[in-house]
Amino acid sequence: MPAKSKTVYLCSQCGFESPKWYGKCPSCGEWNTLNEEFRVPEKAASAERRGASASISSKIGDISPTGEKRYKTGLKELDRVLGGGIVHGALMLIGGDPGIGKSTLLLQICQHLGKALKILYVSGEESARQIKLRADRLQVHSDNLYVLCETDMETVLEHFRSDAPDLVIIDSIQTMNLAGVASSSGSVAQVRECTNAIMHVAKGADIPVFIVGHVNKDGAIAGPKVMEHIVDCVLHFEGDRNTSYRILRCVKNRYGSTNEIGVFEMRDQGLREVENASKMLLDGRPTNVSGTCVACIMEGTRPLLAEVQGLVSPTGFGNPRRMATGFDYNRLSLLLAVLEKRGGYYFSNLDAYVNVVGGLRLDEPAADLPVALSLISSLKDKALGDDVVAFGEIGLAGEIRSVTNAENRINEAVRMGFQKIVLPYHNLRTLPKRDGVKLIGVKMLRDAYEALG
Ligand code: TYD
Ligand code: MG
């Protein structure tokens, strides 16, 4: 007798499950995210799980440490983000907006990985012809790359066993469909059960798997959020679609640090690694112009230089406008208040705009000082100098507070040929003296601009 299906409501944001519908998810607080799903009590996935799991415990000393051998992807930036390459049996999720380059990145690494590994590329989105066209463009012609256009999860898992691949790419999890789950592809239940099913087969056979997951803001399709605790690594591919730079960020990694980022540039022939990201971000910088300042921020363990531009102009009528691109709007309001109250720079009848060049987002407190300096420079209509880099957090009392990794930041600035570095005084105290570069330690915001004068 077929098992009776039961109606449950699942939140598409956090995966919260409830027997009753709510307008607002009681778990994550999002509105209108609970969707009706049908559940068959005995699921194919869970039956498989029971069969696959080994039920003996072993001493930790007896477990052979095979985890350290990693496959290199041929892209150093990606290897670094993964913590040194692909670990055997790892489940890696790549999330990102549609069209950002997830499929491109994964197809591209097949050329290098295909030299030694047998790769199965499963696509539920594109036809084999489309993949071939893209592969030609990316110059991927490995003999070890097998393409499977399929959306049925059971069939895909069957190929895991019959083809015995060394690496599998699933593009994308939202298109996969497990017959035992009575809801449509892309629903939370499908995504979760498919990921679970992949995990049990992949871990059993020690096959690393890349899973592509779409991020969708409206919540109709399950975001990769529900998979995040199942997989070993979660990578986010970000970038402004209008610019060609892409940043790969690691938000979860069971085999390495989560602080690393990789920088890529989307070209005609696919993604290209950007090793010197600071140079790329500073390219085409105007010289001797007021309202710009170079910031030195940390992206993970890597220092990056980015240009911050500030512009102030008289308000036409009504309230002054404030706008920030690549910088937090509220933080900008706060900085303007501190500039007025503690620094004596008046912006109350001026519009103020801040823009970070290159589509980068400066979320780090160390970006406060360069933002403030660019605004003061625009207010005074006086250039700060082309060889100036600044970093430091600004407190509400108008003090410049110390930040982490001061030495790395200085090294990066010096490497890029900057000669004047404005930094928190408390950082300067702990640093050795350096030749050929002027380190300007400042205690208070009002001294920072004058110190450059
Ligand atoms: P894609 O990898 O299909 O995105 P996703 O899988 O994340 O949805 O990337 C598509 C975009 O990348 C598309 O807008 C075109 C661009 N692109 C290039 O600029 N150069 C290339 O060589 C390729 C293959 C794609
Ligand atoms: Mg794609």
Q: Report residue 315 as tokens.
A: 């308000």
Parallel/antiparallel/unpaired status of strands 388-390 and 292-299: parallel
In angstroms, the CA 174 to CA 187 distance is: 8
Averaged pLDDT score across all residues of the chain: 87
pLDDT of residue 83: 87
The pLDDT tens digits of the residues spanning 78-100 come to 998 898 899 888 999 998 888 88
Has residue 354 got a pLDDT over 90?
Answer: yes
Question: For 265-272, what is the mean pLDDT?
Answer: 90
Question: Looking at ligand 1, which atom is closest to the CA of residue 269?
Answer: 22
* Nearest CA owner, ligand 1 atom 14: 99
The distance from CA 187 to its chain's CA centroid, rounded to whole angstroms, is: 23
The pLDDT tens digits of the residues spanning 124-173 come to 999 999 999 999 999 999 999 999 999 999 999 999 889 899 999 999 89
User: From the CA of 232, how far away is ligand 1's center (Å)?
Assistant: 25
- Amino acid at site 106: L
Has residue 3 got a pLDDT over 70?
Answer: no
The pLDDT tens digits of the residues spanning 375-417 come to 999 999 999 999 999 999 999 999 999 999 999 999 999 988 9
pLDDT of residue 222: 52
pLDDT of residue 306: 92
Residues enclosing ligand 1, CB less than 6 A?
A: 96, 98-104, 134, 137-138, 266, 268-270
CA 367, 369, 370, 376 torsion-angle sign: positive
The pLDDT tens digits of the residues spanning 106-124 come to 999 999 999 999 999 999 9
* Nearest CA owner, ligand 1 atom 21: 270
pLDDT of residue 406: 92
Beta strands in 97-166 (DSSP E): 119-123, 145-149
Of 25-29, 54-58, 178-182, give the lowest mean pLDDT range: 54-58
In angstroms, the CA 137 to CA 130 distance is: 11
* Nearest CA owner, ligand 1 atom 8: 99
Question: Looking at ligand 1, which atom is closest to the CA of residue 125?
Answer: 6
Question: Looking at ligand 1, which atom is closest to the CA of residue 138?
Answer: 22
Query: What pTM was estimated for this model as a whole?
Result: 0.75
Nearest partner of 89 among 209, 216, 215, 227, judged by Cα:
209
- Tally Cβ neighbours within 10 Å of residue 58: 8
Q: How confident is the model at residue 260 (pLDDT cuts 50, 70, 90)?
A: confident
The pLDDT tens digits of the residues spanning 200-258 come to 998 888 899 999 988 765 433 455 567 788 899 989 888 876 778 888 888 888 887 77
Cβ(128)–Cβ(149) below 8 Å:
yes
The pLDDT tens digits of the residues spanning 311-340 come to 999 998 889 999 999 999 999 999 999 999
Partners of residue 302 on adjacent β-strands: 299
In angstroms, the CA 264 to CA 276 distance is: 10
